[in-house]
Amino acid sequence: MIPAAFEYHRPQDMAGVLAVLEEYGDDARVLAGGHSLIPMMKLRMAEVPHLIDLQDVVGMSDIEIGAGAIRIGAMVTQTDIIDHVDLAEVAPILREAALQIADPQVRYMGTVGGNVANGDPGNDMPGLMQCLDAVFTVVGPEGERDIRAREFYEAAYMTAREDEEVLTAVTIPASSGGYAYEKQKRKIGDYATAAAAVQIVKDGGNCVSASIAMTNLSDTPVFSEDAGAALVGTSVDATALDAAVAAMLGDIDPTEDNRGPVAFKNHVAGVILRRAIERAWSRA
Ligand code: FAD
């Protein structure tokens, strides 16, 4: 469990980060909380000759709550999300989801940027960000650009971010309504067998909008537009719930692994989504 030798870089600003990335190309990677990358290096599943620590780069650890949007710096940790009282007021689903990630030790170090940039289908924040229609800001040699979370994930560990780009912030549009993040895992601290992020807006007893995304049930997070659409215009009764679950099952593509066979994962996905919708609806 000892990683291959690497050179450690600790630039003070983004220009310094980009300069090292440009100099070493594929041999360099940024390091955020290190709780995905370092284990991979120790297991020799990743060899990174040049590690670029983002810790000292100014302006990446802020949470800004504006009238129309919330901006979360890439180096904000999962614990920062949990502890931020104002954030919990305006976007409580973030806290609810962060509390279900790993354990306190991991959450002290693991960052929002690392969680969404990694492209690990087991990570909880990518699906959450798709549910919330978040936008990821990346910066590279060509400047800055924004990518919707719903368009970011291409395959396991493959995203729309270029290797020489760094994710700097996540922006979440202001929203209202009911929410829920439900996760089924084998034991405390585990990645999801299935997880669902749900946000619902209710008006006069009917659902007027619903956003649903699933975690660890495909090689990318799955934003299920059809599952959300199945709830709109209904009172989220049993028929609507069945339709939403059926639509979601048509969108996911789980594979058998040590979390169970495909039939079991489909079953768990349905149970978890049903629970998440019911809880979000009760809060709407
Ligand atoms: P790092 O490990 O530093 O980086 C991960 C990858 O992302 C690297 O390739 C790195 O180059 C890249 N990267 C990091 N930051 C940026 C950036 N700003 N721009 C571009 N690329 C970047 N996560 C969950 O979601 N749910 C879980 O249940 C869960 N359980 C865990 C259990 C254990 C025991 C452990 C060790 C980890 C677990 N994790 C879980 C993962 C944890 O949340 C990670 O910390 C997180 O996914 C990655 O964040 P990080 O800051 O540690 O990133």
Q: Which numbered atom of ligand 1 lies nearest the CA of 32? A: 3
- Sequence ranges of the chain with CATH classification 3.30.43.10: 7-53
Q: Supply the DSSP string of 112-154, one letter for each residue.
A: HHHHHHS--TT-HHHHHHHHTT-EEEEEETTEEEEEEGGGTEE
Dist. CA 269–CA 284, nearest whole Å: 22
Question: Does the interface ipTM go beyond 0.90?
Answer: yes
Instruction: Tell me the CATH number of domain 7-53, given options 3.30.43.10, 3.10.290.10, 1.10.3720.10, 3.60.21.10.
Output: 3.30.43.10
Q: Which numbered atom of ligand 1 lies nearest the CA of 31? A: 3
Nearest C-alpha to atom 31 of ligand 1 is from which residue? 102
Among 101, 153, 182, 186, say which to mutate for ligand 1: greatest number of ligand atoms within 8 Å of CB. Answer: 101
Q: Which numbered atom of ligand 1 lies nearest the CA of 36? A: 2
pLDDT tens digits in sequence order for the chain, 284 residues long: 899 999 999 999 999 999 999 999 999 999 999 999 999 999 999 999 999 999 999 999 999 999 999 999 999 999 999 999 999 999 999 999 999 999 999 999 999 999 999 999 999 999 999 999 999 999 999 999 999 999 999 999 999 999 999 999 999 999 889 999 999 999 988 999 999 999 999 999 999 999 999 999 999 999 999 999 999 999 999 999 999 999 999 999 999 999 999 999 999 999 999 999 999 999 99
- Sequence ranges of the chain with CATH classification 3.30.390.50: 178-283
List pocket residues of ligand 1, CB cut-off 6 Å: 29-37, 39, 54, 74, 101-102, 106, 109-111, 113-115, 117-118, 123-125, 166-167, 189, 191
Q: Which numbered atom of ligand 1 lies nearest the CA of 29? A: 11
Q: How far is the CA of 175 from the centre of ligand 1 (A)?
A: 26
CATH of domain 178-283: 3.30.390.50
| pTM for this entry | 0.97
For the CA atoms of 31, 36, 38, 40, the dihedral, rounded to the nearest 10 degrees, stands at: -130
Architecture (CATH level 2) of domain 63-173: 2-Layer Sandwich (3.30)
Is the torsion defined by CA of 125, 64, 208, 180 positive or negative?
A: positive
